[in-house]
Copies of this chain bind each other. A is one copy, B any other.
Amino acid sequence: MSEPVIAAAVREITFGQAVREALAEEMRRDPAVFIIGEDVAEAGTPFKVLSGLVEEFGRDRVIDSPISEAGITGLAVGAAMTGMRPVVDIMFGDFITLAMDQIANQAAKVHYMSGGKLKVPMVVRTTLGATRRSAAQHSQSLQAWVSHVPGLKVALPSTPYDAKGLWKTAIRDDNPVVIFEDKLMYQLKGPVPEGEYTIPFGTADVKREGRDITIVATSSMVQVALQAADLLAPLGISAEVVDPRTTAPLDARTLVESARKTSRVIVMDEGYQRYGITAELAAVIAEGAFHYLDAPVTRLGAMDVPVPFSPVLEDLTVPTPDRVVEAAKTLCGRR
Which residues of chain B come closer than 8 Å to A277, judged between CB atoms?
275
Interface 9-mer from A161-169, A192-200, A302-310: A302-310
Q: How many copies does the complex hold?
A: 2
Q: Assess the B100–A275 pair: CB atoms within 8 A.
A: no
> What are the 5 A-B residue pairs with the smallest beta carbon separation, nearest first?
A97-B101, A279-B279, A148-B275, A282-B283, A97-B100
Minimum C-beta distance from A281 to chain B (A): 8
Complex-state Cα separation, A112 to B290, whole angstroms: 39
Residue of B135, B275, B282, B308 touching A286 (CB-CB under 8 A): B282
Q: Enumerate chain B residues within 8 angstroms of A147, measured Cβ to Cβ.
A: 274-275
Q: Is A295 an interface residue (CB 8 A)?
A: yes
A43 beta carbon closer than 8 Å to chain B: no
Question: Any chain B CB within 8 A of the CB of A251?
Answer: no
A283 B274 Cβ-Cβ under 8 A:
no
Contact assessment for B148 and A136 in the assembled complex, using a CB-CB cutoff below 8 Å: no
Query: Is A201 an interface residue, CB under 8 A from the partner?
Result: no
Cβ of A228 under 8 Å from chain B: no
Chain A, residues 88-122, CB within 8 Å of chain B (1/0): the string is: 00000011011011011100110011000000000
Given contacts A101-B97, A275-B247, A297-B283, contact A136 B149 (CB under 8 A): no
CA distance A149 to B303 in the complex (A): 11
Q: Given the complex, which residues of B lie within 8 Å of A280, measured CB to CB?
A: 274-275, 279
Contact, CB under 8 Å: A144 / B275: yes
Q: A108-B306, A112-B305, A144-B275 are in contact. List 8 more A-B contacts (CB 8 A).
A: A98-B101, A109-B137, A113-B136, A147-B274, A150-B272, A150-B304, A278-B283, A279-B283
Given contacts A100-B97, A286-B297, A287-B296, contact A306 B275 (CB under 8 A): no
A113 contact set on B, CB distance < 8 A: 135-136, 306
Q: B290 touching A295 by the CB < 8 A rule?
A: yes
Q: CA–CA, A65 to B97, complex, Å?
A: 22
A319 to chain B, nearest CB (A): 16
Closest to A286 in B: B286
| Nearest CB on B from A115, distance (A) | 9
- CB-based nearest B residue for A151: B306
